[in-house]
């Protein structure tokens, strides 16, 4: 028995020596380069590809079946002269004995200089789609070789799955080029480096990859690096990438020459059997932006649906956008957009995105609700948000130098006229009509964006500041499609009053068209004036009630005012003409008619009124007011005139019925007798609208007519007295009246 074991051992040793000797002989006496043509034919017959071997083939047999290919390329049989892949060197080796049990045990696999060229023609056909397909037969019947029947799992049936076992995989200096003739798009990846640890199914595989990527339209360049630990189960079609870290930088046309540095981390799972994927522990940074969250996707084989949560830490939006080449326009408040924080649930598909349970903190404001893009191609935006407070004035575009210059020129003109407009006696000349345009030519509307926008918006604000006006319980409901923006409701509370507006903005024509109906109820009018001139005392106070129906066209303040047309009715109750003593002005007129001088000094005080009402007919920026009526205690004012909104100027003629000086000790020159009953004293108001009643003066021309009327009345009275003296009681009263009538004629 012992001898038998010794003989068996010597036999096995001899067999091994014979195998080694045969391997040595094969590798040294057998040159595979002599069989290149046979190898090419095998590639055509079995793999249905055109293999070109320009370099040498090196190989070894035992215990590793080693192979090195140099300067090789592969093409499809349909285009054998146009390779879709070529490489400088491919080196691999396989253990021989495990192959007998369908186990692939490899040492290091190295690929050098791989160049992969993919293209899609104008008909949408990709050159990779012909890989492995045989040429059509002579009869045109290109029936492919039958494939094994699939199993219940969808895999081709095999007696045993091939086990993969590689010590490492290294790819150096690879390149991938993709072109699409139909879209004109090109994508390339260069300097691709890939290295792994030992590749065993079910085991953790360290992975590292890097490369430079270029997109042609628009031109975009990306440098990226990927690291992580890969685990996979081919049978279950389940892949895990743990401790993923994707980092890099991108630049190009979309970033206007700026650079975006990015890092993405987390754990990634892809289950192709269930068609689901998830990314947990998600951490993303992009320049100053930092975000956390988790994402999952389903229906990977049809239309992927993404859901998850996302939290973006507070960052400076203005600085971030400037850093990626998309700076925000200069705003009224330079610090606006300085703080942004977002928390939301995310749902999306290839064509849509919804941010639900949205909570946004922008500077000092908090928004909650939902924002969705229902269709990216149509820019179908749906917004439903509520805000605690929002100061819109901070975010309005800053005025251009031209607008600032125009405003400064007009303010200087108004100040010059205001300095000479002294309320009181009214002895200064009537102010000149303003000539400086009051409005900016800066563009107001992003016309191109509005034309492409599909919008439905429902916004609510607990407190909204707009044009310095503090609005509470503000509501805005609007929709837009195809360039027509409709405001169904814009309402709120303002200084214990209310306002309501609705209308539309039509940007479909070359020149935008705007139409709005507005209702304002018992809002202090001085706040509207103060909003335009915060550094000045409003010339008018009172509770404004207004209704208007207005239209305009253009895309700037000036253009809209120049084309403003429509009708307005207004009423101001319990008001005051500030720093304008109308009574003193009229006393001056009465004193003039009495041919006396006022003995008292002008009293600089306000003139209260019960009601100021009228209507306006607007034609191209000029508002005609034919029926101005003002009820002042002791006075009745009736007027008519124009308000030129283009320069914010007014020109009015006002008739005043007066009772005279109502003080306990009236000025003797301002006493009213029966001669003034029914006489209307004239005023002329002309100048900048901001001056209000301070721009009113006695109408000297009209006052002369009144004096002539009074003189005629006085002469008549004297004639009546003479008749009474001469006739006495000699004639009847009827005859006296007839005689007086003759003189009256």
pLDDT for 158-172, tens place per residue? 444 556 678 888 999
Q: Are 110 and 89 in contact (CB under 8 A)?
A: yes
Provide the pLDDT for residue 738. 43
CA 308, CA 347: separation in Å to the nearest integer? 7
Greater model confidence, 486 or 145: 486
CA 700, CA 653: separation in Å to the nearest integer? 12
CA angle, corner 334, sides to 333 and 340, nearest 5?
90
CA 705, CA 89: separation in Å to the nearest integer? 112
Q: Are 666 and 674 in contact (CB under 8 A)?
A: no
Q: Which of 10-19, 184-193, 290-299 has the lowest mean pLDDT?
A: 10-19
Q: What is the pLDDT of residues 590-629, one digit of tens each?
A: 666 566 665 655 555 777 888 889 999 999 999 999 999 9
Nearest CA among 379, 395, 564 for reference residue 455:
379
Q: Are 369 and 357 in contact (CB under 8 A)?
A: no
Q: Is 472 left (phi over 0), alpha (psi -120 to 50) or beta?
A: beta
Averaged pLDDT for residues 399-420 = 62
Nearest CA among 239, 165, 236 for reference residue 196:
165
Q: How many CB atoms lie within 10 A of CB 318?
A: 19
Average of per-residue pLDDT values in the chain: 80
SS3 363: coil
Q: How many CB atoms lie within 10 A of CB 226?
A: 17
Q: Which of 5-19, 250-264, 270-284 has the lowest mean pLDDT?
A: 5-19
pLDDT higher than threshold 90 for residue 636: no
Band (pLDDT 50/70/90 cuts) for residue 108 is: confident
Averaged pLDDT for residues 701-710 = 60
The DSSP symbol for 63 reads: S
Greater model confidence, 559 or 536: 559
Greater model confidence, 267 or 687: 267
pLDDT higher than threshold 60 for residue 148: no
Which of 279-288, 322-331, 389-398, 724-733 has the highest average model confidence (pLDDT)? 279-288
Greater model confidence, 271 or 25: 271
Band (pLDDT 50/70/90 cuts) for residue 413 is: low
Provide the pLDDT for residue 235. 85
pLDDT higher than threshold 90 for residue 209: yes
Greater model confidence, 227 or 58: 227
Averaged pLDDT for residues 513-518 = 95
Q: What is the pLDDT of residues 344-387, one digit of tens each?
A: 999 999 999 999 999 999 999 999 999 999 998 888 999 999 99
* Domain layout of the chain by residue ranges: 39-134+160-200, 564-698, 712-744
Band (pLDDT 50/70/90 cuts) for residue 434 is: confident
Nearest CA among 616, 640, 618, 475 for reference residue 552:
618
pLDDT higher than threshold 50 for residue 63: yes
Beta strands in 633-733 (DSSP E): 635-644, 649-658, 680-688, 696-698
pLDDT higher than threshold 50 for residue 237: yes
Greater model confidence, 321 or 439: 321
Q: Are 530 and 539 in contact (CB under 8 A)?
A: no
Averaged pLDDT for residues 19-33 = 54
Q: Which of 47-51, 110-114, 609-613 has the lowest mean pLDDT?
A: 47-51
**288 phi, psi to nearest 5 deg:** -80, -10
Buried b (16+ CB within 10 A) or exposed e, 606-619: bbebeebebbbebe
Provide the pLDDT for residue 405. 63
Provide the pLDDT for residue 97. 60
pLDDT above 90 covers what percent of the chain? 41
Contacts of 415 (CB under 8 A, 6+ apart): none
CA angle, corner 365, sides to 364 and 368, nearest 5?
150
Provide the pLDDT for residue 61. 57
pLDDT higher than threshold 80 for residue 297: yes
Band (pLDDT 50/70/90 cuts) for residue 133 is: confident
pLDDT above 70 covers what percent of the chain? 72
CA angle, corner 181, sides to 177 and 186, nearest 5?
35
pLDDT higher than threshold 70 for residue 154: no
Q: Which of 144-158, 211-225, 343-357, 637-651 has the lowest mean pLDDT?
A: 144-158
pLDDT higher than threshold 60 for residue 529: yes
Q: What is the pLDDT of residues 247-266, one digit of tens each?
A: 999 999 999 889 999 999 99
pLDDT higher than threshold 90 for residue 43: no
Provide the pLDDT for residue 127. 83
Q: Which of 565-574, 618-627, 642-651, 699-708 has the lowest mean pLDDT?
A: 699-708
Q: Which of 74-88, 395-409, 660-674 has the lowest mean pLDDT?
A: 660-674
Provide the pLDDT for residue 587. 64
Q: What is the pLDDT of residues 305-334, one digit of tens each?
A: 999 999 999 999 999 999 999 998 888 899
Provide the pLDDT for residue 64. 60
Q: Which of 37-51, 130-144, 292-306, 626-640 has the lowest mean pLDDT?
A: 130-144
Averaged pLDDT for residues 683-692 = 83
CA distances to 223, 323, 324, 359 from 289, in Å: 19, 11, 12, 17
Averaged pLDDT for residues 234-242 = 91
The DSSP symbol for 691 reads: G
CA 540, CA 689: separation in Å to the nearest integer? 10
Please confirm whether the linkage preceding 491 is cis (ω < 30° from 0): no
């Amino acid at each position: 028995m012992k001898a038998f074991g010794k003989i068996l051992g010597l036999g096995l040793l001899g067999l091994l020596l014979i195998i080694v000797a045969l391997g040595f002989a094969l590798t040294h006496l057998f040159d595979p380069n002599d069989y290149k043509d046979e190898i090419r034919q095998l590639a055509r017959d079995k793999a249905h590809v055109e293999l070109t071997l320009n370099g040498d083939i090196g190989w070894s047999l035992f215990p590793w079946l080693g192979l090195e290919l140099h300067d090789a390329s592969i093409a499809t049989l349909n285009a054998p002269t146009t390779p879709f892949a070529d490489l400088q060197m491919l080196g691999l080796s396989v253990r021989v004995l495990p192959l007998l049990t369908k186990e692939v045990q490899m040492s290091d696999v190295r690929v050098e200089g791989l160049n992969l060229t993919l293209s899609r023609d104008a008909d949408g056909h990709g050159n990779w789609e012909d890989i492995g397909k045989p040429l059509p037969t002579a009869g045109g019947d290109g029936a492919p070789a039958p494939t094994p029947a699939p199993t219940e799992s969808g895999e081709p049936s095999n007696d045993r799955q091939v086990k993969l076992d590689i010590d490492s995989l290294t790819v150096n200096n690879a390149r991938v080029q993709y072109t699409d003739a139909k879209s004109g798009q090109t994508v390339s990846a260069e300097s691709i480096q890939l290295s792994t640890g030992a590749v065993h199914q079910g085991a953790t595989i360290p992975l590292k990859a890097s490369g430079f990527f270029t997109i042609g339209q628009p031109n975009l360049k990306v440098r990226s690096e990927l690291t992580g630990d890969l685990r996979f189960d081919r049978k279950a079609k389940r892949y895990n990438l743990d401790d993923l870290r994707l980092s890099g930088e991108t630049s190009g046309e979309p970033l206007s020459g700026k650079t975006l540095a990015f890092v993405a981390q987390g754990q990634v799972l892809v289950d192709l059997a269930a068609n689901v994927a998830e990314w947990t522990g998600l951490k993303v940074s992009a320049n100053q932006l930092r975000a956390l969250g988790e994402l999952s996707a389903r229906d990977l084989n049809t239309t992927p649906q993404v859901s998850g949560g996302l939290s973006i830490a507070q960052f400076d939006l203005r600085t971030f956008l400037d850093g990626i080449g998309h700076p925000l326009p200069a705003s009224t408040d330079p610090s606006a957009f300085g703080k942004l924080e977002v928390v939301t649930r995310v749902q999306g598909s290839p064509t849509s995105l919804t941010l639900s349970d949205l909570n946004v903190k922008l500077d000092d404001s908090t928004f909650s609700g939902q924002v969705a893009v229902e269709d990216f191609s149509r820019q179908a935006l749906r917004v439903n948000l509520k805000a605690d407070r929002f100061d819109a004035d901070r975010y309005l575009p800053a005025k251009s130098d031209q607008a600032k210059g125009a405003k400064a020129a007009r303010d200087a003109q108004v100040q010059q006229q205001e300095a000479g407009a002294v309320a009181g006696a009214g002895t200064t000349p009537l102010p000149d009509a303003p000539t400086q345009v009051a409005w900016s030519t800066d563009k107001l509307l992003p016309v191109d964006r509005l034309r492409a926008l599909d919008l439905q918006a429902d916004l609510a604000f607990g407190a909204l500041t707009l044009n310095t006006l503090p609005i509470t319980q503000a509501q805005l409901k609007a929709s837009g499609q195809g360039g027509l923006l409709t405001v169904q409701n814009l309402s709120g509370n303002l200084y214990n009053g209310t306002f309501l507006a609705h209308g539309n903005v039509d940007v479909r024509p070359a020149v935008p068209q705007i139409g709005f109906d507005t209702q304002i109820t018992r809002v202090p009018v001085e706040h509207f004036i103060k909003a335009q001139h915060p550094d000045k005392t409003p010339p008018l106070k009172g509770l404004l009630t207004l209704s208007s129906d207005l239209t305009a066209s253009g895309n700037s303040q000036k253009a809209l005012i120049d084309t403003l047309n429509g009708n307005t009715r207004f009423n101001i109750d319990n008001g005051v003409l500030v720093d304008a003593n109308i009574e003193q002005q009229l006393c001056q007129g009465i004193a003039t008619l009495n041919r006396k001088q006022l003995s008292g000094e002008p009293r600089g005080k306000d003139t209260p009124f019960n009601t100021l009402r009228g209507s306006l007919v607007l034609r191209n920026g000029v508002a005609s007011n034919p029926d101005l009526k003002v009820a002042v205690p002791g006075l009745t004012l009736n007027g008519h005139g124009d308000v030129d909104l283009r320069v914010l100027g007014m020109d009015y003629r006002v008739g005043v019925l007066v009772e005279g000086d109502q003080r306990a000790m009236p000025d003797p020159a301002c006493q009213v007798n029966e001669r003034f009953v029914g006489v209307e004293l004239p005023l002329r108001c002309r100048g900048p609208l901001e001056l209000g009643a301070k721009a009113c003066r006695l109408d000297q021309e009209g006052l002369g007519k009144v004096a002539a009327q009074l003189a005629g009345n006085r002469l008549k009275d004297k004639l009546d007295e003479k008749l009474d003296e001469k006739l006495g009681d000699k004639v009847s009263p009827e005859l006296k009246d007839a005689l007086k009538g003759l003189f009256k004629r």
